[in-house]
Amino acid sequence: MLKIGGESLIGDREYGIDPKAVLSMAEKIKSIYAKEIEIAIVIGGGNIFRGLSGSKNGIERATADYMGMLATVMNGLALQDALEKVGVPVRMESALQMPAVAESFIRSKAIRHMEKGRVIILSAGTGMPYVTTDSGASLHALELHCDVLMKATKVDGIYDKDPMTDPSAKRFKTMSFKSAIEMEEVQVMDTAALAMCKENNMPIMVFDLFEDGQLERAIDGEDVGTFVSNESATVLA
């Protein structure tokens, strides 16, 4: 399961979708598809609309969350188009019913698509408000019996401090779910998503998607990013 933030599709723009950035993302996904790995993707919508931010600015929370789900559908369509252009077979499924643009999510059908060698894009989160796309990715990873949930970010793993503002920040090589949940200064995923993965033994790999080759290296098990699991000790790199 690959969880991608909507911000990865902005490119050089301030918001929205940059076709060049989407095509670059598709090429990265193609590089691991070539390894004959079954791939499911959950993509966020923060480049277009973020539900939580909308609710803080006066929109009713459930309405804002549904608007955010629609943003993930738009991103999913853009990524599906780009993957088709680079020759990767792909299907998009939506947790909200919209048959004109996507199949409705059916767990057995999604698994069958993956078995047939198709990349699956899972849009609209869980289809329910008050839930983030991180939680949607965790839920779908469990439903589809994925081996690992790979969280793509702007930095190469989890740090003890914010690496964007503090040059002394140090990366964790591995981390326990207990530490990931309890360490307030560490931001991995929302608590609900972490708790779901912890309770169901779904490991998480946090890595930098923007650096060339990092996705392939992470898939190959090289020492990149931060690996989070119940069995892992919390160790700095």
pLDDT digits (tens, 9 = 90+) for 56-92: 778 999 999 999 999 999 999 999 999 999 999 999 9
Same domain, 162 and 54: no
Same domain, 114 and 159: no
User: Which of 93, 127, 147 is at the close of a domain?
Assistant: 147
Query: Does pLDDT of 154 surpass 70?
Result: yes
Same domain, 128 and 210: no
Residue 120: per-residue pLDDT: 98
Structural domains of the chain, count: 2
Binned at pLDDT 50, 70 and 90, residue 114 comes out as very high
Domain range for 215: 149-237
Q: Residue 234's CB: how many other CB atoms inside 10 A?
A: 19
Same domain, 169 and 135: no
pTM comes to 0.92
Same domain, 128 and 22: yes
| H-type alpha helices, 34-176 | 51-56, 61-85, 107-115, 133-143
Mean pLDDT of 90-97: 97
Domain CATH for 211: 3.40.1160.10
Give the whole-angstrom CA distance, residue 16 versus residue 161.
29
Same domain, 131 and 158: no
- Strand ranges for the chain from DSSP E: 2-4, 40-43, 90-94, 103-104, 119-123, 149-153, 172-176, 204-208, 226-229, 235-236
User: Which of 147, 170, 195 is at the close of a domain?
Assistant: 147
% of the chain exceeding 70 in pLDDT: 98
Same domain, 126 and 139: yes
Q: What angle do CA 202, 37, 90 make, to 5 degrees?
A: 105
Q: Across the strands, what pairs with 91?
A: 120
Residue 202 in contact with residue 232, Cβ under 8 Å? no
Lowest mean pLDDT among 30-34, 84-88, 216-220: 216-220
The residue type found at 226 is: T
Binned at pLDDT 50, 70 and 90, residue 183 comes out as confident
